[in-house]
Amino acid sequence: MSKREEAYAVLSKIYNRYRKRYRGNSYDSQQMCLMWSTYNPPDIVEGTAPFLDIEKAFQISLTDEEAFDMYNMTLDEAVSKILELKASQ
């Protein structure tokens, strides 16, 4: 399994754990934002439980801007960003 495939598997597990908490997020579009309520989205995403789990799982640190950018990504795009951050930190 490649690093990318491993990272995708880890991120997908986190994504599914949080997405399933919200009844309105039952459609799996692979959008990172579905880890939060789509009816009442957070004002600030940095430091929320999903991103804390991502930081811990990948041993990275996210800035406000990076967290906001990832919030608006697909899982595939987020994996690329995570691997890029991991390489630079």
pLDDT in tens, 51-85: 999 999 999 999 999 999 999 999 999 999 999 99
Domains: count for the chain: 1
Query: How far apart, in whole angstroms, are the C-alpha atoms of residue 59 and residue 34?
Result: 22
C-alpha pair distances (Å), 42 with each of 26, 33, 80: 18, 10, 24
Averaged pLDDT of the chain: 94
Name the residue range of residue 47's domain: 3-88
8-60 pLDDT tens trace: 999 999 999 999 998 888 788 999 999 999 888 899 999 999 999 999 999 99
Q: Which two tokens stand for residue 27?
A: 């459609």
The pLDDT, as a whole number, for residue 37 is: 92
